[in-house]
Amino acid sequence: MADKTQSTTHFGFETVPEGEKAGRVQGVFSSVANKYDIMNDVMSVGIHRIWKDAMMDWLAPRPGQKLLDVAGGTGDISFRFLKRAGSGHAIVLDLTEPMLVEGRQRAEAASMADSLDWVVGDAMALPFEDNTFDVYTISFGIRNVTRPQEALNEAYRVLKPGGRLMVLEFSQLPNDMMQKAYDLYSFNVIPRMGKLIANDADSYQYLVESIRKFPDQETFLGMVKTAGFENAKYRNLSMGIAALHSGWKI
Ligand SMILES: C[S@@+](CC[C@H](N)C(=O)[O-])C[C@H]1O[C@@H](n2cnc3c(N)ncnc32)[C@H](O)[C@@H]1O
């Protein structure tokens, strides 16, 4: 078996030993947790809400479904899912406890308390039995996972036959000019906003670098298929700034 402690991966534009990445990612999200929701609105001028709503439109939650929302952070996806489904259950799982603590303090968390659980855990080793969930979501989380293919394999394992995977993640724009304009904004504006609002330029520098390191739409689609998902497809959001990938466990 390969010795994984010797392998390296990327943490933004840095190369780090694989064994260090999760701790560094936890450091970033622990540091931004209490400003995470407001920073999302400011950085994306509210567009992340439209993308998350588009995720729900495609997912079309149904009453009684069981959702596992991995890297669920402060609960945005689970709240939307439960509202749309009308009834059901959601587990928000995240590596970083302070993100879950923030989520639990939100008004929606109190009103949906009977239908929600908050669990600390790792996307690459989910603490659940095989064939447990109807729906698995991961929103702006998978690019932070050390080995994304392992997270997708785990998603497949814990979904019931007939279950649905939906991934929302930053992606790649279709041409160089648009990508350059977007890079100009993200590399110059976002870390400065991070400094101004959260007094933390480094965490936001990591966030924009991690976006550039994530595979493009077609490459990621291949990874979804490799995990075993059928009828795998993607849709671009805002021309490819973000993308939704969907797949089914048949
Ligand atoms: C950008 S936030 C996304 C939060 C939320 N899903 C949203 O869309 O607003 C990324 C989250 O991924 C979590 N995360 C990173 N690596 C993870 C892993 N291996 N397993 C579970 N969660 C992870 C972080 O702790 C963080 O809360």
pLDDT in tens, 23-36: 999 999 999 999 99
**What gap in Å lies between CA 246 and CA 237, rounded to an integer?**
13
CA of 95 to the centre of ligand 1 (A): 7
Planar angle of CA 91, 153, 20, nearest 5 degrees = 85
Q: Which residue minimizes the CA distance to atom 27 of ligand 1? A: 73
Where do the DSSP E strands lie in the chain? Answer: 8-11, 14-17, 65-70, 88-94, 116-120, 133-139, 159-170, 230-237, 242-248
Closest CA to 164 of 116, 233, 238, 95: 233
Ligand 1 binding site (Cβ under 6 Å of any ligand atom):
22, 25, 29, 70-73, 76-77, 94-96, 99, 122-124, 139-141, 144-145
How much of the chain, in percent, has pLDDT values that exceed 70? 98
**What gap in Å lies between CA 27 and CA 199, rounded to an integer?**
15
Predicted confidence (pLDDT) at residue 110 exceeds the cutoff of 80: yes
Q: Is residue 43 part of a domain?
A: yes
Q: Is residue 81 part of a domain?
A: yes
pLDDT number for residue 43: 87
DSSP state of 199: S
Q: Is residue 94 part of a domain?
A: yes
Domain count, the chain: 1
pLDDT number for residue 2: 45
Residue pLDDT, tens place only, 213-232:
999 999 999 999 999 999 99
Q: Mean pLDDT throughout 203-210? A: 91
**What gap in Å lies between CA 112 and CA 117, rounded to an integer?**
10
Predicted confidence (pLDDT) at residue 131 exceeds the cutoff of 50: yes
Range of the domain at 83: 22-174+204-248
Instruction: Work out the mean pLDDT of the chain and round it to a whole number.
Output: 94
pLDDT number for residue 174: 85
* Tally of CB atoms within 10 A around 116: 23
**What gap in Å lies between CA 141 and CA 72, rounded to an integer?**
8
pLDDT number for residue 198: 83
Q: Is residue 229 part of a domain?
A: yes
- Contacts of 203-209 with CB under 8 Å at 24 or more apart are 203/28, 203/31, 203/32, 204/32, 204/39, 204/43, 205/12, 206/11, 206/12, 206/24, 206/28, 207/28, 208/12, 209/12, 209/13
**Half-sphere exposure (Cβ direction) of 100: Cα atoms closer than 13 Å:** 17
Q: Is residue 179 part of a domain?
A: no
Where do the DSSP E strands lie in 140-180? Answer: 159-170
Q: Is residue 2 part of a domain?
A: no
Q: Is residue 57 part of a domain?
A: yes
Q: Which two tokens stand for residue 92?
A: 């928000």
Residue 110 marked in a binding site: no
Q: Is residue 185 part of a domain?
A: no
Predicted confidence (pLDDT) at residue 8 exceeds the cutoff of 50: yes
Cβ(146)–Cβ(9) below 8 Å: yes
Q: Mean pLDDT throughout 74-97? A: 98
pLDDT band at 1 (very low <50, low <70, confident <90, very high): very low
Q: Mean pLDDT throughout 48-55? A: 98
